[in-house]
Structure 1
Amino acid sequence: MCYDAVIFDNDGVLTEPTLLEVEREAVRRAFAEFGVDPTTEAIDGVIHGGLTNLRRICGIHDVPVDEFWSRHEAHAATTQLECLENGMKPLYDDVHALDDIEHPLAVVSNNQHATIEHILDVFDIGDRFEVAYGRDPTVEGVRVKKPNPHYIERAMDRLGVESALYVGDSNVDVVAANRAGIDSAFVRRPHREGYQLAADPTYELDSLSELPAVC
């Protein structure tokens, strides 16, 4: 099928996923600004538990949610920039395949927008993408992240296209594409070996090198 654009998730697609301990460190740093030393369970609840859990954990520690989250996003961007610069969060080798795709390209990620900007800058790949969105550093940004199609639809509006292929590595990517009414390509990276898909993607790939033929 011919598409008007190709939109990419970042973590696990363009760059290797951020290590869990790096994500935990960002949460610790944010809580430390409020004099709180959270348990690992609470930290992981913030990372994986969604907006409801975030509000619950902040309530337990009497920390204002909006202010905490703003500081968390800043720390998360800083810790990930450190990883980008020291080689702990590298670009996948097959990203070069994007050079063979003639459609407009975009990035839509659940990672912080500042982190996406850092990635494009550190790896000097910003000129390959006409649009790049990470989540806004606000609680509202959390609410509308994937599987909500908000940022995908926003990217398509910005590109001025009606048909697109979304390339991701998780269930939330496939579901977000479905909700946006577009096709999806699931990249089964090594960290997704044995990963169970809750919905069927339009394509399943082993590498981005297969993408030009699909497009």
Structure 2
Amino acid sequence: MTAQTALIFDLDGTLIDSAPDLHHAANTVLRHENLPEISFEQARSFIGKGAPVLISRVMQAVGLPEDPAEHARLLALFMREYDKPPALTRLYPGVMDALARLRAMGLPMGLCTNKPASPTHIALDHFGLAPFLSAVACAETLPQRKPDPAPLRHVLAELGTASALYVGDSEVDAETAQRAGLPFALFTEGYRHTAVADLPHAHVFDHFDALPDLVARHLRERAA
């Protein structure tokens, strides 16, 4: 196992299913504002480009006009609700065992997410993920956010490896990996809207039990 390759993960829709907490936080704000609530399916579809984009999509869904001041106010209310220990969020099955196996393989691991820093680190600590991840890029780490490749390249540099396999679930993640020139492993049980065949990827899996063997095969193929 070469230390010249790392493994970098997305967070929401990849390691954790956070849609229930995001849905709850958004609807708490909407109820407070006497606005119509959004469905779980709507909330799930709004995830991927960070909290500001999510709030923009919520505003559009409930018929609010674009207004920077109102957006900032609602975003602050949302973050007050969301910036708490996860209550409804869950790890995807097999994540902890897969991370333990990957660490035993000697693979450096990091995280690249558009999630704000505070709820990211709350979630990492809550679920015991932090010890596995040597480098983390959140929404505030750089001026750029995914699908700009800069955050992913930042994590790669922090890990000190020549290359990485990026593991994510969405169109945003696939584009980020492609723009960064890194291979992409698609987790199919997250928040994507596009058919698997229409997303650029090097590998695909539907359960984390399969990931360690997938990574080992990837590394053998790179070494061949």
TM range (shorter): 0.7 to 0.9
Secondary structure of 1:12's partner?
coil
What residue in structure 1 maps to residue 162 of structure 2? 162
Runs of 4+ in 1 over 6 A off after TM superposition: none
What residue in structure 1 maps to residue 35 of structure 2? 38
**One-letter amino acid matched to 2:121:** E
Identity of aligned pairs, percent? 22
Of 114, 117, 129, the match for 2:118: 114
Matches of 1:209 and 1:98 in 2, distance apart? 10
The 1:206–1:122 alpha-carbon spacing in structure 2 relative to 1, beyond 3 Å, is: same
What residue in structure 2 maps to residue 4 of structure 1? 5
Q: Is 2:129 the counterpart of 1:130? A: no
What residue in structure 2 maps to residue 13 of structure 1? 14
**One-letter amino acid matched to 1:73:** M
Matches of 1:70 and 1:62 in 2, distance apart? 12
Matches of 2:152 and 2:24 in 1, distance apart? 29
- Structure 1 stretches of 5 or more lacking a match? none
TM-score, normalised on structure 2?
A: 0.70
Deviation at 1:68, TM superposition (A): 4.0
The 1:151–1:90 alpha-carbon spacing in structure 2 relative to 1, beyond 3 Å, is: same
**One-letter amino acid matched to 1:63:** A
Q: Is 2:50 the counterpart of 1:48? A: no
Q: Is 2:75 the counterpart of 1:69? A: yes
Matches of 1:133 and 1:18 in 2, distance apart? 20
The 1:30–1:193 alpha-carbon spacing in structure 2 relative to 1, beyond 3 Å, is: closer
Aligned length in residues? 199
Larger deviation: 47-56 or 110-119? 47-56
The 1:192–1:18 alpha-carbon spacing in structure 2 relative to 1, beyond 3 Å, is: closer
- Structure 2 stretches of 5 or more lacking a match? 220-224
Deviations 1:100-123 (A, max 9, x none): 222110111222222221122112
Matches of 1:82 and 1:167 in 2, distance apart? 22
Deviations 1:163-185 (A, max 9, x none): 11100111211111001110000
In 1, are the aligned partners of 2:186 and 2:204 still within 8 Å (CA)? yes
In 2, are the aligned partners of 1:7 and 1:164 still within 8 Å (CA)? yes
In 2, are the aligned partners of 1:77 and 1:112 still within 8 Å (CA)? no
Larger deviation: 160-169 or 54-63? 54-63
Secondary structure of 2:17's partner?
coil
CA RMSD after TM alignment? 3.7
What residue in structure 2 maps to residue 23 of structure 1? 22
